[in-house]
């Protein structure tokens, strides 16, 4: 199966508290965006990448791509009002049978994890990288009181990338738009179609750069990975 990727870098990143958008912050001498794209550039199954950026950042993103020598990024497009809109716009720019969706703010993803998601989706139709939840999770009643404790062994913290049949994901997005339904990730949209999404066990190091504390943690994790030998 041929695979394309939609990399979403159009978030506002207000929780980061930085004057610069997250994809362009430096992580071990390279931009967060460069680290992220590198994993997909090196993944054998991925033939093309569409990068979705914030309005006015097309040139800046292109400069990162040119400086790094990435050749799989075929298009840089402007994102929508919500992440869901940005992914939908990216899907229209690909013609591959399979599609991976990934947040640019997860720069520690590896090409092996990307490849594993592709293989699982080829077998099961859809897949999502995830890690088992470590903490005991409580459900509240909305008023500050605990009402339930889910069985921890059944709980997973979902990450990206997530992999799908591209036409099926387009169908899921269109149905959600028609019904004015919002989802926090693309796997949730596929679930709304009644489809199953296979879990691909990921790595706790695949963190999302969201708040200022995340950047030094990512630097530490990256340094440790390099010392141990890059797992790609």
Per-residue pLDDT of the chain (232 residues; tens, 9 = 90+): 999 999 999 976 555 656 678 999 999 999 999 999 999 999 999 999 999 999 999 999 999 999 999 999 999 999 999 999 999 999 999 999 999 999 999 999 999 999 999 999 999 999 999 999 999 999 999 999 999 999 999 999 999 999 999 999 999 999 999 999 999 999 999 999 999 999 999 999 999 999 999 999 999 999 999 888 765 6
Domain boundaries of the chain, sorted by first residue: 3-227
What is the longest distance spanned by two Cα atoms in the chain?
Answer: 53
CATH 2.40.160.20 fits 3-227, yes or no: no
Look at the pTM and tell me if it is higher than 0.75.
yes
| 21/208 Cα distance (integer angstroms) | 14
| 66/144 Cα distance (integer angstroms) | 50
Q: Which residues contact 132 (CB under 8 A, 6 or more apart)?
A: 153, 155, 156, 157, 201
């Amino acid at each position: 199966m041929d695979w394309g990727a939609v990399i979403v870098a159009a978030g506002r990143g207000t929780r980061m508290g930085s004057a610069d958008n997250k994809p362009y912050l430096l992580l071990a001498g390279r931009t967060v965006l460069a680290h992220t794209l590198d994993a997909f550039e090196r993944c054998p199954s991925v033939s093309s990448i569409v990068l979705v950026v914030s309005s006015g950042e097309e040139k800046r993103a292109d400069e990162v791509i040119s400086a790094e020598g990435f050749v799989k990024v075929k298009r840089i497009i402007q994102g929508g009002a919500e992440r869901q809109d940005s992914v939908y716009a990216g899907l229209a720019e690909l013609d591959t049978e399979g599609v991976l969706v990934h947040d640019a703010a997860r720069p520690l993803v590896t090409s092996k994890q990307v490849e594993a998601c592709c293989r699982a989706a080829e077998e099961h139709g859809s897949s999502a990288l995830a890690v088992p939840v470590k903490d005991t999770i409580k459900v509240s009643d909305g008023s500050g009181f605990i009402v339930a404790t889910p069985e921890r062994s059944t709980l997973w913290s979902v990450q990206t990338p997530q992999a799908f049949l591209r036409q099926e994901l387009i169908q899921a997005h269109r149905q959600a738009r028609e019904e004015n339904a919002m989802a926090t990730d693309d796997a949730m949209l596929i679930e709304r179609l009644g489809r199953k999404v296979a879990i691909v066990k990921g790595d706790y190091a695949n963190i999302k750069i969201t708040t200022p504390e995340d950047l030094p943690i990512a630097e530490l994790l990256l340094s440790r990975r390099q010392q141990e030998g890059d797992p790609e």
